[in-house]
Structure 1
Amino acid sequence: MSQIASLSEAVLQQVEQTKRDTAKIFRVLKETRTLTATNTFQAHVRVTGTDLLIVVATPGPWDDDQGIRAVVASYDGVVHLDEFLPVGAPLSESRQGGGGRRYAAVFREAPQVNVVIHVHTPYLGGWAAAHRVFPLNYAAAQRVTLARELPVYIDRRQPESRFILDALAADPHVPAVLEANGGATFFGPRLLQSAQWILLFEEGAYFQALGENLGGVQPFGEGVLEQQWRMTGLWEEGRKLIQHQRAPS
C-alpha cells in the first residue's frame, strides 16, 4: 500500500508548506530559547474541506535526524501519510493515528480553528505548574488579542478538546489554554500566527514572573487597552467589550 494513499496534489503541497513553516518556527523558537530543552512542539493543521489533519512535530534533542516529518490522518485516526515509517513500509504499520484524533473535537466543533499547537515553554509552563490562570498584563501580548487571560486545564478526566471548546464558549477570543503541570495549547486560524503568539505570550509570562518578585504584577493603567488595541485594529470591538463588562447586571 502506498504511504500517500488517496492524497491529492493540493494536499501534498499543503503538507510541504506546513513542513517549511514548522522548520522556520522551530528555528525561531529554539534561537529565542522559547522552547524547553525537550523541543516539545506539535502542530495539527486542518486540511480545508476534509476530515484530514496534517500533524507535524519538531525533533527531540537526541534525534539524529533533525528534519521535520509529517503525518496526515483523519479525525477518526485513519493514516493517509506517515513520513516516520521506513521507506517501503505499509501504512498498516503506522502508529500515528492518535495525531488525528487528539484534537478532532475542536476541529469538528470550532470551524474558526484551523491550527492547534501543543508546546512546552519555560515560563508559561511555570504558570501551568502553579495551576494559575495567566492574566495578560504584558502590553505587547495584550495588543494582539481581546482575551484578557488564559485558563488552566487541570482535571484530565475531561478531554482537553472539550476543555478548549468550553474555553472558547466562555470567551471566543481566547487563543490558548495552559496544561496544568505541563505546557500550553494554542489554537487559531493560521500556523505562523499561533507560533508568533507563542513567543509573545512566553515573553509576557517571563516579564510577569519577574514582576511577581518585585512587588507583584499590576493591572494596566488607564488608556493602555485603547492604545494597544488601536495599534492592531481591535479597539472598536474591544471598546464594546469593556462597555459590556462595566454595564450593571
Structure 2
Amino acid sequence: MSQSASTADLLLFAQQFEKDFASARQLLLQHQALSANQAGNISLRLPNEQRLLIATLNGADAGRAALFDFDLDHSQGHASDNLREVAALHVAIYRQRPQVRSVIHTHSPYLSAFAIAGRPLRAHASQLLGVLDEDQEIPLTAWGPRYSAQPVIDALQAHPRAPAALLANHGPFAWSDRDLLATTRLLINLEESAHLTWLAAQLGTPQPFPAGAAVQSRQGWVAP
C-alpha cells in the first residue's frame, strides 16, 4: 500500500484492522491481560507508509480505528486528542524500529506492577526465552509525563533487541514485525512471565537460566 492507495483500499485495510483488533481484545480479556478499566491501545503501520491505524481498548470508541500520519498533522476516523497523544509514542517506536508493524500498550496488572515497582522484567520464565536471551531483560524506562516518547526512545536505543519496554510508573509497550494479533500474543506471554516471576518471588529468589539456555531452547531439546 502506498500513499496513493485508493480510498477503497484504505477502507478495506481499516475494516480488517478493526476485525483483528476485536480478536486481539478478546484474547487479552481471555488471558486477564488487561486492567480493570481495560485501558490500552493497539496500532498497525500501513505497509510501506508513514501512517498508522490505532484504536483504544476501552471507552465509547473502543475498537474504532483512527488513521494518523507520522507527523500527526492529518487524521481520519475517531481521532480524539487522547488517541493523538498516545499515537505520538507509537510513532516514535515505529521510527526507532522501521521493521515493526504493530505496537500495543496496556495496563496489564503484573507488567504494570513491575513498572510501578521500578523493576525490569528479567528472563526467569521459559516464555521469555523465545524473545530474549537468558541474560537479557524487558527494560524499564525512565519516568516521563504521561506518554512522553523520549524515555521509550532511550530504552530502545539502549536495548536494541528488546521487544517491549516498561514505562516507569505506568505500564508496558510491546511491538513486533508481525500483525497486531502476533503482537497481542507477545504481550500476553510477557504478562504471564511477569505473573510467574512475581509468584516465584513469594517463594524465594527467581532463578536465572544457565548460560546458553536461550539457544538450546530455540533449537529444541536434543538428547546427549
Quick check: TM above 0.5? yes
Counterpart residue number, 1:57 = 56
Q: Please, which of 180, 183, 189 is the counterpart of residue 171 of structure 2?
A: 183
Deviations 1:133-181 (Å, cap 9, x if unpaired)?
Answer: 1101101222234482011123316974333333333332201111122
Counterpart residue number, 2:202 = 213
1:10 deviation in Å?
2.4
Counterpart residue number, 2:138 = 150
| Correspondences of 1:75-94 after superposition (within 5 Å) | 75-83=70-78
Q: Is the 8 A contact 2:143 2:169 kept in 1?
A: no
Provide structure 2 residue ranges, at least 5 long, that are not aligned to the other structure: none
Counterpart residue number, 1:141 = 128
1:230 deviation in Å?
1.3
Q: 1:77, 1:54 → 2: CA distance? A: 12
Q: 1:222, 1:109 → 2: CA distance? A: 30
For the residue of structure 2 that corresponds to 1:69, the secondary structure is coil
Q: 1:97, 1:32 → 2: CA distance? A: 28
Decide whether aligned partners of structure 1 residues 155 and 100 sit closer, same or farther in structure 2, where only a CA change above 3 A counts: closer
Q: Is the 8 A contact 1:136 1:149 kept in 2?
A: yes
Decide whether aligned partners of structure 1 residues 18 and 221 sit closer, same or farther in structure 2, where only a CA change above 3 A counts: same
Q: 2:93, 2:211 → 1: CA distance? A: 36
Q: 1:99, 1:178 → 2: CA distance? A: 15
1:130 deviation in Å?
0.5
Max Rg structure: 1
Structure having greater relative contact order (Cα 8 Å, sep ≥ 6): 2
Q: 1:170, 1:57 → 2: CA distance? A: 28
Q: Does 2:192 match 1:192? A: no
Q: State the superposition RMSD in angstroms.
A: 2.6
Decide whether aligned partners of structure 1 residues 41 and 155 sit closer, same or farther in structure 2, where only a CA change above 3 A counts: closer
For the residue of structure 2 that corresponds to 1:117, the secondary structure is strand
Taking only the aligned residue pairs, the percentage that are identical comes to 27
Q: 2:74, 2:211 → 1: CA distance? A: 52
Q: Give 1:178's aligned amino acid.
A: L
| TM-score of the pair, normalised by structure 2 | 0.83
Counterpart residue number, 1:228 = 217
Q: What count of residue pairs does the alignment treat as equivalent? A: 214
Deviations 1:220-243 (Å, cap 9, x if unpaired)?
Answer: 146632331214xxxxxxxxxxxx
Q: Is the 8 A contact 1:132 1:152 kept in 2?
A: yes
Decide whether aligned partners of structure 1 residues 197 and 78 sit closer, same or farther in structure 2, where only a CA change above 3 A counts: same
1:126 deviation in Å?
0.9
Counterpart residue number, 2:119 = 132
| TM-score of the pair, normalised by structure 1 | 0.76
